[in-house]
Structure 1
Amino acid sequence: MGGLNFIRKLPPNEPFVFHEYVITQKKMYTVLFCISIPLLWISSAGSTIFWIVGASATLVLGHAALFKPDINESFTSDSQV
Structure 2
Amino acid sequence: MKLRVQHENGLIEILTLDGHWEIVEGTTLDRIRSDRGIEHFFTKDGFYDGWGSGLGEESGARADEIVSAMEQKREFDRD
Larger Rg: 1
Identify the structure with the greater helix proportion. Answer: 1
Q: TM-score, normalised by structure 2?
A: 0.32
The higher relative CO (CA closer than 8 Å, separation ≥ 6) is in 2
Q: TM-score, normalised by structure 1?
A: 0.31
